[in-house]
Structures are given as C-alpha cells and as structure tokens.
C-alpha cells in the first residue's frame, strides 16, 4: 500500500467510492477506506472540495438524508430518460395524499389519515408505500387496538433529494378567511 496519501489521492478515493456506490454513502462509510487515518472534519472539507471540482461537469455531488451521492445534473434528466423508458411508477392522487399526511403529520395511524381525507385508507396504497420503503411502522399508539404509527423513512428523503423533513415544501396554512368564513352575525 502506498500510504500515506496526499489530498488529491484522498479526493480520488472518495470520488471513486461515491461514483461506484449507486446509493448515498454516509460519513462513516466514507471514512472506512482510510482506515481510521482521517478526521471527520477533513472528510467534510474534502467532500466540499470535491463538490466544487465537479461544478462544471455532468454529475453533481449532493448531500441527502443518508449521506452523499453523485447524481446527473437535472438538465440532463430528460435526455437520460429516453435511454430507459421504464421508470419508477408515479403514484395516484390518493397515494400522494396519504403520503403527504404521513410526511407532514407523522407519526400517524390509519385512523388519522382517514380522519383527514374523509375516506377509508386503501390497504394497497399503504403496501405500495411500504414496499417502496418510503414509510414504515415506528410504533403503536397507546390506545385500544394499539394501532400502528407510520412515519416516512430516510429513503423517502433520499429519493426526493432532501436532507431532512424540514426541507419539505412548507405546508400552506389556510386561514378561515380562505374558506370564506365569516363569524356568525349576532342576532
């Protein structure tokens, strides 16, 4: 082995690891190739440098919930989609509403979801979201029947290019005026 390594070599090792991973790599995973000879602060600095190095290239280095990954710059996605037309399925409106309730109101039970949407939860939708590993059961609410509490996963954040739930688009807060509510006139 040709250790110790210089900064350029360390960056290349990180680059090779990230390009071949196919999924986000956490800081711990990225430290592993260096066998305890790298500080976390150094790693962060190198990742920032690497990110800057790729600024003018076809791929970009991004940080998502599970770690760091290279992905194609968004402007190429249309062209890339023509290579493999079979894509991950888009979900129905009912599924997206269910997902939104879980994402913004988590942890929630099926009952909570039904209360907000006003319709029974379709078990297929829950299964779809669990199979995609976007939601999972994080516990049971301590009420009769002990219903499962659902929450979104790190994979959900990764797949939407987010680092944390706080990066979700802000939820609209409708005031009562938006629904043309006027206080009842005193008689």
- Terminal C-alpha separation, the chain: 89
Q: Which residue's structure tokens are 């066998």? A: 35
Task: Give the shortest CB-82-to-other proteins separation in angstroms.
Answer: 12
Q: What residues between 132 and 161 interact with other proteins by CB under 8 A?
A: 158-161
Q: What minimum distance in Å lies between the beta carbon of 36 and other proteins?
A: 21
Residue 2 or 177 with smaller CB distance to other proteins: 177
Residues with Cβ within 8 Å of residue 155, at least 6 apart in sequence: 66, 132, 133, 134
- Could you say which residues in the range 35-54 bind other proteins, by CB under 8 A? none
Distance from C-alpha of 12 to C-alpha of 5, rounded to nearest angstrom:
10
Selected binder of other proteins within 27, 40, 53, 76 (CB under 8 A):
76
Q: Is 16 in the site for other proteins (CB under 8 A)?
A: yes
What CA–CA distance (Å, rounded) separates 67 from 164? 11
Nearer to other proteins, 2 or 185 (CB): 185
Helix or strand run (H / E) with residue 51: helix 40-53
Kindly identify the residues of this chain, within the stretch 96-135, that bind other proteins according to CB under 8 A.
96-97, 99-101, 103-104, 116-120
Q: What residue ranges in the chain does DSSP mark as E strands?
A: 59-64, 67-72, 135-140, 148-152
CA diameter of the chain: 89
Interface with other proteins by CB under 8 A: which residues?
A: 16, 18-23, 59, 69-72, 74, 76-77, 80-81, 87-88, 90-91, 93-94, 96-97, 99-101, 103-104, 116-120, 158-161, 168-169, 171-174, 176, 178-184
């Amino acid at each position: 082995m040709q250790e110790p390594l210089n900064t350029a070599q360390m960056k290349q090792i990180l680059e090779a690891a990230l390009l071949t991973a196919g999924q986000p790599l956490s800081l711990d995973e990225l430290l592993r190739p260096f066998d305890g000879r790298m500080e976390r602060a150094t790693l962060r600095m190198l990742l920032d440098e690497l990110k800057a190095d790729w600024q003018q290239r076809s791929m970009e280095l991004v940080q998502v919930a599970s770690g760091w990954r290279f992905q194609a710059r968004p402007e190429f996605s249309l062209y890339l989609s023509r290579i493999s037309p079979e894509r991950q399925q888009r979900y129905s409106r009912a599924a997206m509403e269910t997902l939104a309730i879980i994402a913004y109101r988590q942890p929630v039970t099926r009952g909570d979801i039904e209360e907000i949407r006003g319709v029974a939860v379709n078990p297929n939708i829950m299964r779809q979201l669990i199979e995609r590993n976007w939601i999972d059961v994080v516990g049971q609410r301590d009420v009769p029947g002990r219903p499962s509490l659902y929450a979104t996963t790190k994979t959900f954040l990764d797949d939407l290019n987010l680092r944390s739930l706080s990066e979700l688009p802000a939820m609209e807060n409708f005031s009562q005026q938006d629904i043309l509510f006027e206080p009842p006139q005193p008689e």
